[in-house]
Structure 1
Amino acid sequence: MNFRPQNRDEPELNLIPMIDVLIVLMIFLVLTTTFSRETGLELQLPKAQSPASEETPQGVDIAVGPDGQFSVNGTPLPDNRLETLREAMKAAAGERRDPLVIVRADRTTQHQHVITVLDAASQLGFGHISFAAEATPESKP
């Protein structure tokens, strides 16, 4: 009878081949991945459902042109910076704490310019924001 312990090799995990396979897999994924940059969103703008009322509530009317030029209550601003827009909105609001902000944007206006208007309104604490929609022949009575 042989009672001596047998020399057993302990199992090992060979990491070098696994690292090689992972590196090759990463190189493959990097080379086959296509990167696309979203430059804009395709949206359907809402149409007015009811005829526009003749009386316009007192508020801050902001028009945003396709080139990002802002107009506050019909007065064009000298530049399209957030600070300039915020000061013009504050002056147009006067004593009112939370006036109605009406955003009128052209169909071809980049959405970032509309977001700039929303940022300025948010920084001033204006929470009543409305987007103007053009009336279509179908919506007119």
Structure 2
Amino acid sequence: MKRKKHTAADDDAQIDMTPMLDIVFIMLIFFIVTTTFSSEKGLSANRPKDNQETNQPSKALSIRIDETGQIMMGGRIVDVRRVVANTQTFLAENATDTAAIQAHENTEHGIVVEVMDQVKLAGINNVSVLVKKGK
């Protein structure tokens, strides 16, 4: 038996990719042409008009507590028992739902918590606490 020798022509054998690429491009064109774009139907939303007037509060109640525990509201020193009355007076004059308590970092936490409770009793639920660092 004779053995068959490998020749250079056997190593150069390749598959012709041109017909396969032609079919792929034809299919791509077919799918692009036959695709329909339709807008989905649904309910339209009736949005309210954008008014210049907003119901947002104009200013927040500001309370300051220094390192000795003195409470200042509106530039006056106030006792902790009078915070509710002063807050209600502020609410009568201003439409707001927020209060900011600025406390010194050396202030006792009990005083800050007591002021927060008094403000919430007066009708303000959004209370934020700011800590002022000493110099």
Q: TM-score, normalised by structure 1?
A: 0.47
- Normalized per residue, which structure has more helix? 2
Larger Rg: 2
The higher-RCO structure (CA 8 Å, 6+ apart) is 1
Q: TM-score, normalised by structure 2?
A: 0.49
- Normalized per residue, which structure has more strand? 2
